[in-house]
């Protein structure tokens, strides 16, 4: 595989980069919305992964179907996640995760 | 014949009404109402008995049997018992004596108990006694007889203790009851053994008229190597010794004199104590099969007759003398039974009922007139003051002494004659007893009715203070003039004296030109039992000789009594000093039999109960307490295990989870970022583990 043509490895690298960024975002953000955005990045990295493996592999369209599912899932997730955050905000007047420690044991 | 049941039931009705409503009747209608009602029931019963007797006489001798089945009673397995009464020559004689003498004593009681507030109770109990006695006599099977047998014992107890406020009376009543119970237990054993054996032979019956046919089957039946019939009859005879006051169970009868005198006359002289004689006669078919038992009966009877007569010689209580005399005369009857002369025994029973009831009632009349004085040493000279009582008493005394032609002569002589045929030694004992009887009875007559009045005389205090002697609280009344008793008392005396005079003529032996109607009347009953009929006609001279001897002995006894107590040409002290006074003291203290019983049976029982008490306290309680202690120890251990092991485990588990939770709760920071870190580390670790 030559460096000039865009192959599977490129996609995977992008996907890993994206995953790392997402994880970083999730781990470091104190803003709940930021956390949600990090999660979006992780989901999308997974989506790229699926499509890329599907395109270069021999599994037909399964990967694409999964990617569509993930997009749909991400939409639903962000909708519910934002609603939860909104609910938390209404109750706690805060969306800083370091302050949302009522579940502490 | 339906009427027979009313002989029994009328007194029961009388008892039921007098014992329940009597106190009210006495209060509203007077004492006479109670007495008339009670006596009326007895008299009505007597009248029906007479009718039944007449009816029997119209029948052929062999078919003289009337049965009245009232109710089926027990029908269990092979046991089939009805409440049924039978009138045959024997039970008719008994029923006539019981209800006849009973009626007279009812009438007498009205005169005698004239000061007692509980007259209704007295008459109720007398009626109840009549009911029980008539049940005993008329019952057609052993079980009904046993009901009566127990009933008379109960009534005897209640009537001896009639004046229950005096402890001595209730003690005497209890003593009588307990001694009777010993006999009753043996009776019950005999009855059950008989029934058991007959059941085994396939002829389960307790009905008298069937026993005669079944009895031969018992021949050859053994139990523990002894003929069953011997065991049965011995057990029944022990029952008879209890009820009829024979050795060894006689000691209750003298104490029973604590009861009112009419009770002594009715129960303890004329009727109840003869129950044993009647029972043996009734079951003669069994007794005749057991020669051993007959020997035992004859010997016991003779021994009792002699022993009681010797005790009677020295007693000072007017009723005690008569009581021992009764025991002695009952001994005579048993001698007759033991010789197989059942008719002779029953004959003496009948004549004895007359003269002994008369004697007791006469004694009661004297006691009543002397304000409940019973000590003969404080009497005397009553002959002119109480002529009727004196003459009736004298007639009865002559009758019991066996002077011809009075009742006792014929019946006693018949017994002596039969005893002589059986065993001359028995006759000898009987003859000596007859002499003693004549002596102590005339001693009594002379002490009570002749000489000067010794009322209020002080007599030396005696150690002997059993039961009836304790009426000393009445002394103050002695200043009153003693006079003849009321008609209610003298009328029965006269009638009974007539009986004592004439009853013997029913049984004039053929040797004296009579036909012995009495034995002939009873012959159908005893025919099956092998009664020895007067086959010994060859000994006619011998029979005359024996009669003459017994009359002479009686006259000798009377003469001696006359010399000692009336002429006083012989001092009683010379007799009491014979052999350093040992015989006198033995007789006066009744051979110490009571003391011996107290010392052996009673003390033994007490010692046994103490030993059992100790055993109970030490061993049983020890076992129980030991068990409790061991259970407690086990429980303590179990408690310890529970507390330390089980609870420890539970608590330890709880503690583990508690501390684990305490440690793990630190993990639950509530910080989402931290969770995600952990998540990431975890996923990474899993992936790396997978890759590796």
B-side interface with A, Cβ within 8 Å? 664-673, 676-677, 680
Name the DSSP class of B646. Answer: I
Work out how many domains chain A is built from and give that number: 1
What is the rounded CA–CA span in Å between residue B686 and residue B378? 131
Q: Predicted confidence band at A2 (pLDDT cuts at 50, 70, 90)?
A: low
Interface with A, mutate which of B657, B666, B667, B671 (most A CBs under 10 A): B671
Interface with A, mutate which of B675, B676, B677 (most A CBs under 10 A): B676
Contact B669 A26 (CB under 8 A): no
pLDDT of residue A94: 85
pLDDT, one tens digit per residue, over A25-80 is: 988 888 888 989 999 999 999 999 989 888 887 767 888 899 999 999 999 999 99
Task: Please state whether B380 falls in left (phi above 0), alpha (psi between -120 and 50) or beta.
Answer: left
Nearest to B680 among A23, A101, A104 (CB): A23
Contact A101 B666 (CB under 8 A): no
What is the rounded CA–CA span in Å between residue A43 and residue A35? 12
Q: A103 lies in a domain?
A: no
Q: Among residues B335, B291, B276, which one has the least CA distance to residue B309? A: B335
CA nearest to B677 within chain A? A27
Q: A2 lies in a domain?
A: no
CATH of the domain at A75: 1.10.287.3510
Nearest to B672 among A23, A28, A35 (CB): A35
Q: Among residues B188, B117, B101, B177, which one has the least CA distance to residue B146? A: B188
pLDDT of residue B566: 80
Residues of B in contact with A28 (CB under 8 A): 673
Q: A52 lies in a domain?
A: yes
Distances (CA, A) of B140 to B89, B150, B265, B298, B412: 13, 16, 27, 27, 29
Q: A68 lies in a domain?
A: yes
> Does A30 lie at the interface with B, CB-CB under 8 angstroms?
yes
Contact B670 A23 (CB under 8 A): no
pLDDT of residue B393: 92
Contact B670 A100 (CB under 8 A): yes
Contact B671 A97 (CB under 8 A): yes
ipTM of predicted complex? 0.77
pLDDT, one tens digit per residue, over B525-582 is: 887 544 444 444 557 788 888 888 888 888 988 888 888 888 777 777 777 777 777 7
Q: A100 lies in a domain?
A: no
pLDDT of residue B576: 72
DSSP B491-554: HHHHHHHHHHHHGGGGG--GGGT---HHHHHHHHHHGGGT---S--GGGHHHHHHHHHHHHHHH
Residues of B in contact with A23 (CB under 8 A): 680
Q: Among residues B333, B330, B329, B311, which one has the least CA distance to residue B320? A: B311
Q: A99 lies in a domain?
A: no
Residues of A in contact with B665 (CB under 8 A): 105
Contact A100 B672 (CB under 8 A): yes
Q: A48 lies in a domain?
A: yes
Q: For chain B, which ranges sit under pLDDT 70?
A: 1, 456-480, 528-538
- B225 or A4: whose pLDDT is higher? B225
Beta bridge partners of B375: B317
How many whole angstroms from its chain centre is CA B90? 21
Decide: B256 and B179 in contact? Cβ < 8 Å: no
- Residue B35 main-chain phi, psi, to 5 deg: -65, -45
Range of the domain at A56: 8-92
CA nearest to B680 within chain A? A23
CB atoms under 10 Å from CB of B601, counted, come to 12
Q: Residue B275 belongs to what H/E stretch?
A: helix B275-282
Residue B68, classed as helix, strand or coil, is: strand
pLDDT of residue A79: 92
Kindly report the nearest CA distance between residue A29 and chain B, in angstroms. 8
Contact B671 A101 (CB under 8 A): yes
């Amino acid at each position: 595989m030559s460096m000039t043509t865009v192959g599977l490895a490129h996609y995977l690298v992008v996907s890993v980069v994206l995953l790392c960024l997402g994880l970083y975002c999730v781990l470091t953000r104190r803003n709940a919305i930021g956390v949600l955005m990090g999660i979006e990045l992780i989901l999308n990295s997974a989506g790229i992964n699926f499509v890329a493996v599907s395109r270069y592999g021999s599994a037909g369209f399964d990967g694409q179907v999964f990617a569509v599912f993930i997009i749909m899932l991400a939409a639903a997730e962000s909708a519910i996640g934002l609603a939860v955050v909104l609910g938390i905000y209404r109750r706690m007047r805060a969306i800083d995760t370091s302050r949302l420690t009522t579940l502490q044991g | 014949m339906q009427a027979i049941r009313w002989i029994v039931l009328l007194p029961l009705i009388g008892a039921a009404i007098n014992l329940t409503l009597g106190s009210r009747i006495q209060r509203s209608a007077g004492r006479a109402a109670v007495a008339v009602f009670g006596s009326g029931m007895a008299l009505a019963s007597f009248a029906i008995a007479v009718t039944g007797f007449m009816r029997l006489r119209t029948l052929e001798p062999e078919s003289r049997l009337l049965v009245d089945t009232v109710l089926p009673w027990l029908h269990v397995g092979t046991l089939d018992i009805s409440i049924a009464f039978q009138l045959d020559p024997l039970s008719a004689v008994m029923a006539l004596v019981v209800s006849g003498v009973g009626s007279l004593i009812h009438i007498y009681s009205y005169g005698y108990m004239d000061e007692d507030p509980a007259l209704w109770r007295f008459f109720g109990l007398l009626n109840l006694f009549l009911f029980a006695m008539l049940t005993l006599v008329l019952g057609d099977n052993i079980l009904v007889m046993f009901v009566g047998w127990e009933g008379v014992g109960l009534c005897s107890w209640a009537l001896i203790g009639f004046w229950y406020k005096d402890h001595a009376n209730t003690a005497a009543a209890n003593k009588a009851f307990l001694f009777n119970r010993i006999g009753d237990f043996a009776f019950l054993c005999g009855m059950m053994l008989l029934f058991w054996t007959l059941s085994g032979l396939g002829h389960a019956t307790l009905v008298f008229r069937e026993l005669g046919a079944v009895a031969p089957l018992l021949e050859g039946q053994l139990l523990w190597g002894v003929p069953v019939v011997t065991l049965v009859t011995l057990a029944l005879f022990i029952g008879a010794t209890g009820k009829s006051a024979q050795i060894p169970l006689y000691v209750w009868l003298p104490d029973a004199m604590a009861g009112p005198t009419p009770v002594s006359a009715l129960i303890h002289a004329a009727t109840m104590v003869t129950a044993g004689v009647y029972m043996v006669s009734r079951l003669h078919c069994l007794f005749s099969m057991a020669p051993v038992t007959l020997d035992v009966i004859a010997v016991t009877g003779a021994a009792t007759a002699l022993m009681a007569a010797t005790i009677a010689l020295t007693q000072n209580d007017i009723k005690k003398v008569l009581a021992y005399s009764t025991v002695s005369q009952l001994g005579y009857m048993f001698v007759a039974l033991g010789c197989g002369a059942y008719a002779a025994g029953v004959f003496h029973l009948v004549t004895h009922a007359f003269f002994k009831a008369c004697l007791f009632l006469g004694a009661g009349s004297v006691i009543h007139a002397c304000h409940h004085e019973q000590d003969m040493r404080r009497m005397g000279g009553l002959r002119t003051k109480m002529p009727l009582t004196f003459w009736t008493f004298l007639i009865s005394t002559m009758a019991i002494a066996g002077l011809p032609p009075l009742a006792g002569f014929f019946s006693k002589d018949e017994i002596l004659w039969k005893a002589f045929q059986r065993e001359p030694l028995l006759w000898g004992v009987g003859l000596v007893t007859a002499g003693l009887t004549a002596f102590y009875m005339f001693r009594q007559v002379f002490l009570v009715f002749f000489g000067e009045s010794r009322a209020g005389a002080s007599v030396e205090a005696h150690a002997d203070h059993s039961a009836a002697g304790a009426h000393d609280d009445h002394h103050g009344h002695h200043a009153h003039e003693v006079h003849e008793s009321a008609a209610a008392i003298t009328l029965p005396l006269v009638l009974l004296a007539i009986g004592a005079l004439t009853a013997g003529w029913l049984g004039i032996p053929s040797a004296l030109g009579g036909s012995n109607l009495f034995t002939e009347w009873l012959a159908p009953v005893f025919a099956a039992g092998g009664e020895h009929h007067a086959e010994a006609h060859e000994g006619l001279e011998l029979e005359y000789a024996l009669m003459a001897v017994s009359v002479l002995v009686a006259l000798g006894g009377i003469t001696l009594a006359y010399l000692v107590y009336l002429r006083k040409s012989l001092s009683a002290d010379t007799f009491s000093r014979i052999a350093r006074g040992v015989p006198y003291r033995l007789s006066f203290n009744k051979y110490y039999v009571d003391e011996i019983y107290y010392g052996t049976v009673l003390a033994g029982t007490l010692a046994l109960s103490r030993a059992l008490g100790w055993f109970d306290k030490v061993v049983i309680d020890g076992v129980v307490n030991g068990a409790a202690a061991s259970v407690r120890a086990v429980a303590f251990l179990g408690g310890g295990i529970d507390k330390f092991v089980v609870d420890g485990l539970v608590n330890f588990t709880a503690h583990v989870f508690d501390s684990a939770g305490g440690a793990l709760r630190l993990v639950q920071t509530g910080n989402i970022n931290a969770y995600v870190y952990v998540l990431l580390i975890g996923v990474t670790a899993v992936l790396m583990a997978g890759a590796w």
